[in-house]
Structure 1
């Protein structure tokens, strides 16, 4: 199963490359109010590498990549802008030193911390949550923890269904409806808030970057509103957009749409 997951993520990394044209734990609580961060330019093959393993914690991302966006949201939500330096990589013109000196897998995201580099987006979200101060992203309630793991395990399957449907001809498949209805039903599990575990958590972070892209693409290209008949999903999207840590990481949906349409030839 892990091998299948890695293969799927590699395929999406290829898609992200095309997109790049557009360019101490505490109880769960509200994220700190954030000021707008000045984002550094993406590093290219002509860029010099940072001073690797100099004690600085660095999060390597690509602004366009949904996997990287997961870790970026977690960093921002926990208020770690001054503690984790953002290092954006241009996926279409990525520097050779990134693979040679930092992360042999040559993917984003990766995290340089305590003289080690780690990868895989969901593992990194959990790592950031457990190793740095700020609002907790995983609740203490065992029932919520169990449900969180179920939803995290499902996330790759969900994304696969949705991405597979994007270039398909004709009407949206029943498989897409089933996948979206599963997410809609998940909101009914807990009643203490509009998010997937009631309160905002790492599960929302796992799904948000992808559903954002799916909503725009399916509406424009297939005239299919993923929120129609799904009030919980609609409310979730509305509430997500009120969270600075999320909204500050979003790429203009129209830029994403144009790049995705070009990628799929639609």
Structure 2
């Protein structure tokens, strides 16, 4: 049996992407909780370049960066496909994953920064949401085709974490008036029965993030 371990944080959307992929494939794994305030020698050894979570350890070899890890899991383990089979759809899925990787950091800045820097980050997030809202028009269920997959896993932070961060911080970025298609997609994403088993507890996530904002004050 393959020896699989995941170094991460239970409340991290990046770690969660990897956990989701492992669960889809039915892979048993050991989760190793990391402390980013006091990074372990294990993390620094496994990811000396970025020193970030998540890191997947498979048979003693480490793989870094959440989207890279998800692709590795899809290619390595048997089970339902995560990336689309069609080459065009696969390219589009990777496009959206890259979009979230590039635009996602602005979301964090819009909550944790103050003053002019925060306002600039908010504007960047509004532009991202406008793009997503347009992409999700006509009641589009998923980003690629009619099957949940790679791009949707990449979008997990937009689906769940963004709303929880809003509630925890009191900073509101998303309204159904401004972004109706995005909000409809988010509600479907969170409440869909096939996704619920893979999503972390919203209440536990909210409590954790509230605590972080209290410390930051």
Name the TM tier (shorter chain).
Answer: 0.7 to 0.9
User: Structure 1 stretch 107-116 or stretch 122-131: which is displaced more?
Assistant: 107-116
Instruction: Give RMSD over aligned pairs.
Output: 2.9
Higher-RCO chain (CA-CA 8 Å, sequence separation at least 6) = 1
* Partner Cα separation in structure 1 for residue 153 and residue 141 of structure 2: 14
* Residues 73 and 245 in structure 1, CA contact (< 8 A), matched pair in contact too: no
In structure 2, do the counterparts of structure 1 residues 107 and 228 end up closer, same or farther at CA, with 3 Å as the change threshold? same
* Residues 7 and 33 in structure 2, CA contact (< 8 A), matched pair in contact too: yes
* Partner Cα separation in structure 2 for residue 155 and residue 236 of structure 1: 16
Identify the structure with the greater helix proportion: 2
Structure-2 residue corresponding to 1:36: none
* Residues 8 and 32 in structure 2, CA contact (< 8 A), matched pair in contact too: yes
- Say whether 1:180 aligns with 2:180: no
* Partner Cα separation in structure 2 for residue 223 and residue 94 of structure 1: 32
Equivalences for residues 28-43 of structure 1 within 5 A: none
* Partner Cα separation in structure 2 for residue 99 and residue 147 of structure 1: 33
Structure-2 residue corresponding to 1:225: 174
- Say whether 1:127 aligns with 2:72: yes
Structure-1 residue corresponding to 2:153: 205
| Paired residues, number | 207
User: Structure 1 stretch 222-231 or stretch 203-212: which is displaced more?
Assistant: 222-231
* Partner Cα separation in structure 2 for residue 70 and residue 250 of structure 1: 16
* Partner Cα separation in structure 2 for residue 93 and residue 251 of structure 1: 26
- Say whether 1:255 aligns with 2:202: no
* Partner Cα separation in structure 1 for residue 86 and residue 215 of structure 2: 42
1:135 counterpart SS class? coil
In structure 2, do the counterparts of structure 1 residues 69 and 88 end up closer, same or farther at CA, with 3 Å as the change threshold? same
* Residues 9 and 33 in structure 2, CA contact (< 8 A), matched pair in contact too: yes
Structure-2 residue corresponding to 1:96: 41
Alpha-carbon shift at residue 55 of structure 1 (Å): 5.5
Instruction: Map Cα deviations across residues 48-101 of structure 1 (whole Å, 9 max, x no partner).
Output: xxxxxx951212221122211111111112222x3x33232233344334434x
Alpha-carbon shift at residue 253 of structure 1 (Å): 3.5
- Say whether 1:157 aligns with 2:102: yes
* Residues 63 and 251 in structure 1, CA contact (< 8 A), matched pair in contact too: no
TM-score normalized with structure 1 length: 0.66
- Say whether 1:116 aligns with 2:51: no
